[in-house]
Structures are given as C-alpha cells and as structure tokens.
Copies of this chain bind each other. A is one copy, B any other.
C-alpha cells in the first residue's frame, strides 16, 4: 500500500513511469504543475510526441481567504468514482479516468487541454452552441441511471454508502443554506448591500423555502450528483462539453445540479450588465444565455421522459403519469437551488469571477443587487413552478 506524500514534478514523473502504462519506456517526458495550489496539485505530463495526461493529486488542506483548514483526502476517491460512474453512462460529457490510487489521493485523467474552462470563456463573451443541450444530456443521463427508476434498491443503497461524503457536503450545507441567511464572519458583501441582506434575512417565507431546500439536500438521496456544477467545472470547445471535478459528489436531490448550473449562467447574465458597454453585444450575450437556459431545461425534461419511458426498471415507479409529478418536483427544487446559488455567490464566502472581476465598484454593486434580487425571486417562487416554461418565464420577467 502506497503512503500519502504530496508529489513534486520529479516524484510525479517517477510515479507515472512506475505505472508503466501511459508512455513508452524510453519516452522523453516533461512535467509541469499548473493547479491553483489551494486544494489540489495538477500536473501535465507530456512525451516528445505530444501525448499527454493529467495527474491530479488532492492536498490534505484547503486554503481560502488566507485561512487554511484540513480537508479529507477521501474527496479524491469520491471524485474518481463519480467520474467513473458518470462516465459509464455518459462518456461523451465526462472526463475520462485513466487510473486512480486512493492512498496517494491521485487520479490520472485524460488531458482536456484542447478545451477551455466555461467560466473564463463566458466572461470573455465567447459562446458555445451545444452547451445547454450537452449539459442537459449529462445531467439527465447521469441522474436517471443512478436513480430509483433504474438502479436495483440494494445496489442503490450500496452506492449511497460508497458515496457518503460528509466533509464536502458540510461545506455546501453551510455555504448554501446557513451562512448567507445569518450573521456569519465567512460572509462577504459590500456594506452598500447590507440593507438588502437584512431584508432577505427577515423574509420568513423565503427562510422557510431555504429550510426545505436544506432538508432535501440533507435527506433526499435521489441520485449520484456531481455536486458542484458551476461554470468552472465544465470544459468546453466548439464540439465538446466535458464535466470535471465532482469531488462534492454524493447521493442528493436531482434538482441541485441543474439548479446550480442555471444559477451560474444567470450570474454571468447579470455580470454582463456591468461588463459589456455596447448594447448589441450585450443583447447577443443575454439572448445566448437565455437560449442556453431554455434549451437546457427542455432537453433535461425531454431526456428524462425518454429514459424513464424506456428504461425504468422499478415496477411501482412505472405508474402512468408518475414521472410528470416527479419531474415537476425536480424542477421546483432546481429553481430553489438556483436561487440559493445566486444568493450565496453574492453575499456568502465564495464569489464568482464573472462579478468579482468587474473593476468599476458601482457597476459591480448594481450587478450584485440584481443577482441577490433574482436569487430571492427564484427561491420565493420555486414551489409554484409547474413547468420548464414557468421557470423560464420567471427568469425572463425578472431580467427583462
């Protein structure tokens, strides 16, 4: 059994060579590390013929806002296993795992260096036609095949145990559902937002919905979630969309992932108001983002209908019409979780570059006011959402 030690370029290369399966024995290998160094080491290893792989190693701590706290290495196991599970049903949109070693917290992945991280691309105003469709297919396919509609109950219970992820779930539980709604030193927002934040915290109806969303996050193992579908977890190119980094993966409510994804598109939507000065360019980006959201919602629903009609193995869950009420509840959850993503990215610990990098402070503040308000509206209206169109219309009515 290998014992954990953090790699450097040299030991990473030694390790790769010792595996003996990725490069020719006499290959001339080069190696460099390009992770942000806060959570994980990420090495790119390449031979003289430009064959390359990625070696990712989890670090036993996280550094955030200057602070350092211990963080379980078990997240490397979870991440590799989620990628393998999701890859087994949706290889087109899941990064490939080539090798994993839990003791070293090391995963070797296909190199997706020909693609780019979606968040930076959207910030730069670049668009990808297949994005909504691809992400919807990834989310619908992976969530269906790990749900009670498909999995044998005993197999599902075993998987729920395998993917129990208490430490990383605790981060989400705190940052999404607790901190923003009370006085907590981890929160981070400009004082000009204080009044709006105070009003949010006094809105009883809203706090009730947040409680329900948290309860569901805690106790609703509907499927194996990615757990962290923001635009920084998606590699994109003209013809490819690949999900990475599911270290927050666990069995949770289906609506969480799609809600988080749409929330990140909406954060970018609002950010463009503070970024793009030319109205036509802004209109184009806005209309692209809205189309992407609309496509994503429709395709997600459509794909779930198709898969459940063809492949539901549970007798009781085959009941005619049940899938409609099930998906309606998923949508309501998605809308609620989408709202909590907007709120926590605006006033909680972790912000998004889309907004944080807006240089003009007053422009940034206007964006933050908008994301916070939109988040509130999504949360408050979640329970009355009856269709993908309801969801979409609420967004339209707010942003127009």
Residues of A at the B interface (CB closer than 8 Å) are 148, 153-154, 156-158, 160-161, 164, 166-167, 169-170, 173, 177-178, 181-182, 204, 207-208, 210-212, 214-215, 218-222, 251, 314-322, 325-326
Judging by beta carbons under 8 Å apart, are A166 and B157 in contact?
A: yes
21 contacts between A and B (CB under 8 A): A153-B166, A153-B169, A153-B170, A160-B160, A178-B315, A181-B316, A182-B315, A204-B320, A208-B320, A208-B325, A210-B316, A211-B316, A212-B322, A212-B326, A214-B316, A214-B317, A215-B317, A219-B221, A219-B222, A219-B251, A220-B220
Copies of the protein in its oligomer: 2
Judging by beta carbons under 8 Å apart, are A218 and B319 in contact?
A: no
Chain B nearest Cβ from A315, distance in angstroms = 5
- For the A-B complex with A153-B169, A157-B169, A181-B315 known, give 5 more contacts whose Cβ atoms are closer than 8 Å: A156-B218, A161-B161, A208-B320, A210-B319, A219-B222
Chain B nearest Cβ from A164, distance in angstroms = 5
Judging by beta carbons under 8 Å apart, are A164 and B157 in contact?
A: yes
Chain B nearest Cβ from A231, distance in angstroms = 26
Measured CA separation A215–B308 after assembly (Å): 14
Judging by beta carbons under 8 Å apart, are A148 and B218 in contact?
A: yes
Measured CA separation A214–B147 after assembly (Å): 13
Chain B nearest Cβ from A380, distance in angstroms = 13
Closest B residue, CB atoms, query A178: B315
Measured CA separation A173–B161 after assembly (Å): 19
Partner of A208, one of B170, B214, B315, B321: B321
Measured CA separation A352–B17 after assembly (Å): 67
Partner of A160, one of B153, B164, B181, B318: B164
Measured CA separation A314–B326 after assembly (Å): 27
Give the top 4 A-B pairs by smallest Cβ distance, nearest first: A207-B319, A211-B322, A154-B166, A211-B319
Closest B residue, CB atoms, query A320: B204
Cβ contacts under 8 Å, A315 to chain B: 178, 181-182
Closest B residue, CB atoms, query A155: B166
Measured CA separation A169–B158 after assembly (Å): 13
Cβ contacts under 8 Å, A169 to chain B: 153, 157
Counting chain B CB atoms within 10 Å of each CB, the highest count among A210, A218, A321 belongs to A218
Cβ contacts under 8 Å, A221 to chain B: 219, 221
Judging by beta carbons under 8 Å apart, are B218 and A219 in contact?
A: no
